[in-house]
């Protein structure tokens, strides 16, 4: 959804207040048409009505609307009378959605102080005001969404977002079990019908508990909540042992339900714990990070780190459901958005060229936190990854292509200090692969440059590279290796990956040197 959202409604229905809150939630720009018209005319509405007449004022509104209708991704609070013109409604609908905030006249009036009513020319005559309110109702009803404005602003925004965001739901078959994937703005509501009156254990981390836990506990009956420190330091056997003991101390049974609420670390650890506690208990993942929603939570992998090396102890699991919590994406900093975009782009490069092209064309918008565009990225990426996973659940062949950039990336995570994020390391890894593929004649220079240019927007300008000897040493322990050979995912083109175990240390060094030199 890159269309504009236009808020209509009578004066004092709350268009400006709701619009500002809605724009913040969407990561978009807010504009108030009253301000635009005032600036264009050089006077406020009261002066314009008195000096120019209402018709001139309405013409100025239409002129400003024509300009706005050529833009994209705006949240616009319209003037109370703008929707009366059929031309204006056509302009709004051509490139956007019309959301009407419905509020009766008495409540509109109660929201204004006497001084505010004096500033509005149409409020001076009660009988005329009532006639005007009645006359506008038909135009207001010509909308895409009608919302009761007599409720808290946050509830109005929730209603609009639930209607406008591109949600998705599909079934992922993991071996012989169906897992429901639910991409939604209303994560806790989606969870409710899945509970089946079971005792619930929520596993989360301290940061996420402050951001999202209350939304979920409000819909659960006395859940057991287990919180861990945030970050990779919690993705260990020691953390798993702590969770096991906490559940044992609280008489958690196999038939109960574990809800892993968080990003990739928590969903990985939660799945690992659930699959091994008392030989397996039921679990649901609720992903709150873009990286998790686009990649980590999809596909059933579960693992913990060992001695600083990633995902060395793990197994393949089958959650009952995976909730991709779109509302949680509003709390992510830019760096975390970049991680998720990188993983989605990776999936596109190996499995879905349209997904890769979608990401390339919108990287700046996605990095800014445009929630509708991020939701589309989540939906596209989740489905693209699911298609690969269904064909190779246990990663015996095809699924390995999803590790594009990860062989080098995991080595960088282990070696670089301070430790960069997973997304940054994978992006650097994919850039190395682009150079390798170019040198091998698998792709053309413009293709390599296109990938590197896209990933450059998602990574810091500088990174202190470790020696190639150290990178090669760490890669010797990569879990994807076979027969003592380091395994790489290469590309013939977007959507045409291949596995290779014949990349030499010299080739790798040459590719890294070219990348570091910007050549």
- Give the three-state DSSP class for 262: strand
Q: Which residue in 458, 471, 335, 455 sits closest to 416, CA to CA?
A: 471
Range of the domain at 293: 168-390
Shared-domain flag, residues 116 and 73? yes
Shared-domain flag, residues 135 and 205? no
Shared-domain flag, residues 380 and 329? yes
Q: Which residue in 399, 322, 318, 390 sits closest to 173, CA to CA?
A: 390
Inside any domain, residue 398:
no
- Give the three-state DSSP class for 389: helix
Domain boundary among 348, 365, 390: 390
Residue 319: how many CA atoms within 13 Å on its side-chain side? 31
User: Cβ(324)–Cβ(339) under 8 Å?
Assistant: no
CATH of the domain at 269: 3.40.50.1970
Residue 158: what pLDDT? Answer: 92
Inside any domain, residue 399:
no
100 C-beta neighbours (distance < 10 Å), count:
25
As annotated, the binding site for Mg(2+) includes: 16
Inside any domain, residue 94:
yes
As annotated, the binding site includes: 12-17, 34, 58, 80, 120, 136, 151
Shared-domain flag, residues 182 and 209? yes
CATH of the domain at 153: 3.40.50.300
Residues of the chain with pLDDT under 50: 519
Mean pLDDT of the chain: 94
Shared-domain flag, residues 217 and 252? yes
Packed helices 422-439 and 406-415: angle between N→C axes, nearest 10 degrees? 130
Inside any domain, residue 361:
yes
Residue 483: what pLDDT? Answer: 81
Q: pTM of the full predicted structure?
A: 0.88
Shared-domain flag, residues 261 and 198? yes
Residue 208: what pLDDT? Answer: 94
Shared-domain flag, residues 178 and 42? no
As annotated, the binding site for substrate includes: 34, 58, 80, 136
Residue 128: what pLDDT? Answer: 87
Shared-domain flag, residues 160 and 99? yes
Shared-domain flag, residues 449 and 366? no
Shared-domain flag, residues 103 and 129? yes
Produce one character per residue of 157-185: b if its CB has 16 or more CB atoms within 10 Å, e if not.
Answer: bbbbbbebbebbeeebebeeeebbbbbbb
* Domain total of the chain: 3
- Give the three-state DSSP class for 400: helix
Domain boundary among 112, 146, 164: 164
Residue 1: what pLDDT? Answer: 59
CATH of the domain at 436: 1.20.1090.10
Inside any domain, residue 241:
yes
As annotated, the binding site for ATP includes: 12-17, 120, 151
Domain boundary among 345, 360, 390: 390
Shared-domain flag, residues 220 and 143? no
Shared-domain flag, residues 112 and 37? yes
Residue 121: what pLDDT? Answer: 66
Ordered DSSP codes for 212-260: IIHHHHTTSSS-EEEEE-SSGGGSSHHHHHHHHHHHHHTT--TTSEEEE
Residue 519: what pLDDT? Answer: 44
């Amino acid at each position: 959804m890159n269309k504009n959202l236009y808020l209509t409604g009578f004066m004092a229905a709350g268009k400006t207040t709701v619009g500002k809150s809605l724009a913040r939630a969407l990561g978009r720009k807010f504009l108030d048409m009253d301000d635009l018209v005032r600036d264009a005319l050089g006077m406020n509405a009261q002066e314009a009505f008195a000096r120019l007449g209402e018709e001139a004022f309405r013409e100025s509104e239409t002129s400003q609307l024509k300009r706005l209708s050529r833009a994209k991704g705006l949240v616009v609070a319209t003037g109370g009378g703008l929707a009366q013109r059929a031309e204006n409604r056509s302009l709004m609908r051509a490139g956007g959605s019309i959301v009407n905030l419905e509020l009766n006249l008495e409540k509109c009036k109660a929201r204004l102080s006497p001084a505010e009513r004096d500033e509005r020319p149409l409020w001076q005559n009660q009988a005329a005001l009532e006639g005007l309110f009645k006359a506008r109702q038909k135009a207001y009803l010509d909308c895409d969404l009608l919302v009761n404005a007599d409720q808290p602003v946050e509830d109005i925004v929730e209603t609009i977002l639930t209607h406008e965001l591109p949600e998705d739901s599909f079934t992922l078959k993991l071996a012989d079990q169906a897992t429901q994937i639910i991409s939604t703005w209303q994560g806790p509501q989606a969870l409710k019908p899945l509970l089946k009156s079971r005792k619930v254990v929520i596993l989360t981390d301290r940061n996420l508990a402050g951001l999202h836990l209350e939304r979920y506990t409000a819909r659960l009956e006395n859940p057991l909540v287990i919180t861990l420190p945030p970050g990779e330091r919690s993705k260990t056997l020691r953390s798993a042992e702590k969770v096991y003991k906490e559940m044992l101390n609280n008489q958690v049974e196999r038939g109960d339900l574990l809800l892993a609420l968080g990003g990739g670390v928590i969903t990985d650890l939660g799945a690992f714990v659930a699959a091994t506690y008392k030989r397996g208990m039921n679990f649901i993942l609720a992903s709150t990070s873009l990286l998790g929603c686009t990649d980590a939570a999809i596909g059933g992998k579960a693992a913990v780190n060992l001695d600083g090396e990633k995902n060395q102890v793990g197994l393949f699991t089958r959650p009952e459901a995976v909730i991709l919590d779109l509302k949680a994406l509003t709390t992510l900093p830019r760096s975390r958005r970049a991680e998720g975009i990188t993983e989605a782009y990776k999936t596109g490069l190996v499995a879905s060229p349209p997904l890769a092209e979608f990401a390339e064309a919108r990287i700046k918008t996605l990095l800014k936190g445009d929630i509708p565009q991020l939701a589309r990225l989540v939906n596209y990426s989740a489905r693209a990854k699911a298609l690969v996973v269904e064909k190779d659940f246990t990663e015996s062949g095809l699924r390995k292509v999803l590790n594009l950039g990860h062989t080098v990336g995991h080595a960088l995570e282990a070696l670089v200090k301070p430790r960069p994020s997973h997304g940054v390391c994978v992006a650097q890894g994919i850039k190395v692969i682009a150079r390798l593929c170019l040198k091998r004649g698998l792709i053309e220079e413009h293709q390599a440059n296109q990938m590197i240019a896209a990933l450059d927007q998602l990574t810091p300008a500088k990174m202190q590279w470790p020696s190639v000897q150290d990178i090669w040493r760490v890669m010797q322990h990569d879990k994807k290796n076979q027969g003592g050979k380091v395994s790489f995912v290469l590309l013939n083109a977007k959507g045409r990956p291949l596995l290779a175990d014949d990349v030499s240390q010299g080739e790798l060094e040459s590719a890294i040197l070219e990348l570091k030199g910007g050549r």
